[in-house]
Chains A and B, each alone.
Chain A
């Protein structure tokens, strides 16, 4: 069934209705979350008690808004710190991997490529516990053997960053690799022909060409890190990133404060996504 094949009207309308219904299904939870951020009530549920900005700007109990809630603000800061670290690392390693698989042929390359893909098919929680177990054992060994206490190997932000990096890198590699694949190698040869050195050619021709993909990979990595839960849950120490902090609060019972945070998250990630689309449009 494509538009050029005549179909009964009922079928066409029914199909369109199904797709509409699907989008309602997609939008519903988000609309609900966003709307109740403005409910003047202690609970994010009906009845509607009137409109308020208090869950954003309120500064006295019981309605302390997001912008006056220290712990939430700190968690956002932690998340941003982690996400920036993870994105920077993954884009750097992803770039290197993309060149490795695109520009070289060596024995075992195929196998290595499959290995590179593996983190995508390992459940996030297993990634988390395996890194937790290994790093703790190394830390214990170092303490037992040399009396060195390596804080970085204990649950905490370093491990969170490493844990998220371990699978987000695969995605960065795929995003950057896909664009490198489309790169016309003769452009580089033309640069060499015009007197550039090999590294200069890559720096002045190839990297600018890859820039949209690198920005795209950075944003995707940032968003994935920001919303990661499973791996982070197993590796987190005392400084909780936002998803973990929100999870802990949600377990105790929700207030529209969480809706307000969620709405801000939606706005933030939409902006990031728009930035990414903008750069990818320009890269075309």
Chain B
């Protein structure tokens, strides 16, 4: 390709973070970890550019904690390399690595007060006392908790502890901050607030964050880039939008966001459009988005509840290539996220559909007949391997 002088103008503007520019803060290549016969992490490669927020999202036991512990130095990779700022850290012990970690249960030292906790790493680095006091004060200021330095760890609320745990790492100005599901122990309300706060802390400290979680909404809200992990491998890496709207694999489609899901057989292919006959007897049309599929293949189809239109009359859905007439079996009221379950007349399973909040369905009741439909672009079809 010929470099065009204007190319830069068409690329999404990179956030002007570090001067280092080209070398990624963290680069893992062909990272593998085996425990006996099981392979916990299987040939995983990724790069995290400076100043970005990178998440690894996956169900428990998928190997994401193993990756994190290898980066921190608590596990030795069986294969592959970990580079921080372009330098391999494989032979660097955890206490010498330029990464710090916010642990799952935060691991604040209960035998020390807040000040001593935050100053711990600085004392290890041998900084003079005065400088430690200043830095600790600044850090407390930055996390919005000035003056709590003399308190004990267990006198803080969950959210405060969270911030202290981050400050304790950030005073050391690490190249990469690792966060191991730190929101897991908080209650729902606080978790929602901390998501926003974490993101702004990351911007404030302007440090590369690597975050692991099993909670998709945490990953979607905060990250610049997300890797979805399953059984030791990365299924897909991309922005939150990519993962949500253009999942590469059936696992990603099922794991990120809610979906109606069908198992069936491909009956027809026309360009990018696929017709699937589900095991439950529903015929639906979807898109393969470039994935190799052939008539007769077993396939899985995913349709998000919000991608389905609901209508009182069949004529309103004329533009959709999959339409179903059915009865409302359940109303799942949840404010703005309210849904209905629609049971098709053909007798297949109920389909979850988002309810528009514009008022036209305010009187919908159980047993009402409705029409639903979606365009085939909204239905993702994947080959179901080995079924």
Question: Do A and B bind?
Answer: yes
Indicate if A5 sits at the interface (CB-CB under 8 A).
Answer: yes
Q: Does B93 lie within 8 Å of A4, measured CB to CB? A: no
- Chain A positions 1 through 12: 1 when the CB is less than 8 Å from some CB of chain B, otherwise 0: 000111000000
A1 to B301, CA, bound (A): 50
Considering only CB atoms, which chain B residue lies closest to A6 in the complex? B93
Indicate if B73 sits at the interface (CB-CB under 8 A).
Answer: yes
B contact residues around A6 at 8 Å (CB): 73, 76, 93-94
Residues in B86-111 with C-beta less than 8 Å from chain A: 93-94
Indicate if B74 sits at the interface (CB-CB under 8 A).
Answer: yes
- Chain B positions 291 through 309: 1 when the CB is less than 8 Å from some CB of chain A, otherwise 0: 0000000000000000000
Minimum C-beta distance from B77 to chain A (A): 12
A contact residues around B69 at 8 Å (CB): 4
A6 to B94, CA, bound (A): 8
A contact residues around B75 at 8 Å (CB): 4
In the complex, which range does the number of interface residues on chain A fall in? Answer: under 10
A contact residues around B73 at 8 Å (CB): 6
Considering only CB atoms, which chain A residue lies closest to B76 in the complex? A6
A77 to B94, CA, bound (A): 61
Number of A-B contacts (CB under 8 A): 10
Interface size on B, residues (CB 8 A): 7
A6 to B96, CA, bound (A): 12
Minimum C-beta distance from A260 to chain B (A): 48
A contact residues around B94 at 8 Å (CB): 5-6
Residues in B56-94 with C-beta less than 8 Å from chain A: 69, 73-76, 93-94
Minimum C-beta distance from A152 to chain B (A): 52
B contact residues around A4 at 8 Å (CB): 69, 74-75
A4 to B94, CA, bound (A): 10
Considering only CB atoms, which chain A residue lies closest to B93 in the complex? A6
A4 to B72, CA, bound (A): 11
B contact residues around A5 at 8 Å (CB): 74, 93-94
A82 to B25, CA, bound (A): 73
Minimum C-beta distance from A4 to chain B (A): 4
Residues in A1-45 with C-beta less than 8 Å from chain B: 4-6
Considering only CB atoms, which chain B residue lies closest to A3 in the complex? B74
Considering only CB atoms, which chain A residue lies closest to B73 in the complex? A6
A6 to B90, CA, bound (A): 11
- Chain B positions 302 through 326: 1 when the CB is less than 8 Å from some CB of chain A, otherwise 0: 0000000000000000000000000
A contact residues around B76 at 8 Å (CB): 6
A contact residues around B93 at 8 Å (CB): 5-6
Minimum C-beta distance from B54 to chain A (A): 23
A contact residues around B74 at 8 Å (CB): 4-5
A5 to B75, CA, bound (A): 8
Minimum C-beta distance from B104 to chain A (A): 14
Considering only CB atoms, which chain A residue lies closest to B91 in the complex? A6
A4 to B75, CA, bound (A): 6
Considering only CB atoms, which chain B residue lies closest to A7 in the complex? B93
- Chain A positions 201 through 221: 1 when the CB is less than 8 Å from some CB of chain B, otherwise 0: 000000000000000000000
Minimum C-beta distance from B82 to chain A (A): 14
Considering only CB atoms, which chain B residue lies closest to A5 in the complex? B94
Q: List 10 A-B pairs, Cβ < 8 Å.
A: A4-B69, A4-B74, A4-B75, A5-B74, A5-B93, A5-B94, A6-B73, A6-B76, A6-B93, A6-B94
Smallest CB-CB A-B distances: 7 pairs = A4-B74, A6-B93, A5-B94, A4-B75, A6-B76, A5-B74, A4-B69
Further contacts, 4 of them, CB under 8 A, given A4-B69, A5-B93, A6-B76 = A4-B74, A4-B75, A6-B73, A6-B93
